[in-house]
Amino acid sequence: MRTVLVASSKGGAGKTTMSTNLAAHFALDKKRTALVDADRQKSSTHWCEKRAGMATAVLPVDGTRRNWEKHVPDDAQRIVIDAPAGAYAEELDAFLELADVVVMPILPSTIDLEAAVPFLNTLAVHPRVKKGKVRVGLVGNRLKPWTSASQQAMAQLKAWPYPLVAELRDTQAYVLMVALGKSVFDYHSEQIRSHQEDWAPLLRWLKKA
């Protein structure tokens, strides 16, 4: 099985949006997928419950429980972990021990960029990250590419030691889709396809990682 840990240094960065959309993509790709919800708000769990009646349902697993990994089916092919908001590497150790990659969404603001630094510093010294067993990728999230704030933030991220693996534009569509148990990959309109293209670099990186 392949395990993707979605983590961020602060709340509101889009962790759940990224976790649910990745889980939906894997399920639509006919992979048996589990979504481990370690955030006490349980937004990812509620999304899974709304999707339960679909052919591409995703199994929710309570990641706040001890021994949560025992509740992941042995035949799961993809696991996405929605980490607790604001947790540092030492608090994520149980998840990092199982993860193949870490994906970190970052908003284009000075506050979010500054908050990301200490989190990434703790991640850098984790044994599995240091040994290259866990790869780390950054995702610019809720971007308005025509604004100087987004442009400057992405330029800064590109200078960091971890790769910028995707740039996701801001849209209210994500909010609406999460409320329905859906994802950007469940729709095929021309407008939605343009947002799917934003995810393509991240999906390619995950295949190589």
Q: What's the confidence (pLDDT) of residue 201?
A: 97
Does the pLDDT value for residue 202 go beyond 80?
Answer: yes
Cα dihedral 133→60→164→25 (10° resolution)? 110
Model confidence pLDDT, tens digit, residues 4-38:
999 998 888 999 999 999 999 999 999 999 999 99
Q: Strand pairing of 135-143 and 59-62?
A: unpaired
Q: What is the pTM of this model?
A: 0.95
Residue 192 binned pLDDT confidence (cut-offs 50, 70, 90)? confident
What is residue 9's predicted lDDT score, i.e. its pLDDT? 81
**Residue 78 in this model has a pLDDT that exceeds 90:** yes
pLDDT digits (tens, 9 = 90+) for 79-125: 999 999 888 888 899 999 999 999 999 999 999 999 999 999 999 99
Query: Can you give the pLDDT at residue 209?
Result: 79
Determine the pLDDT at residue 120. Answer: 94
What pLDDT score was predicted for residue 106? 96
For residue 88, what pLDDT is reported? 84
What is the predicted pLDDT for the residue at 89? 85
Radius of gyration of the chain from its Cα atoms, rounded to whole angstroms: 16
Rounded Cα distance, 29 and 46, in Å: 22
Q: Which domains does the chain have, with CATH numbers?
A: 2-208 (3.40.50.300)
Q: What is the pLDDT of residue 1?
A: 75
Q: How confident is the model at residue 191 (pLDDT cuts 50, 70, 90)?
A: confident
Rounded distance between C-alpha atoms, residue 111 and residue 122, angstroms: 18
pLDDT at 147: 94
> Higher pLDDT residue, 188 or 106?
106
pLDDT in tens, 130-155: 999 999 999 999 999 999 999 999 99
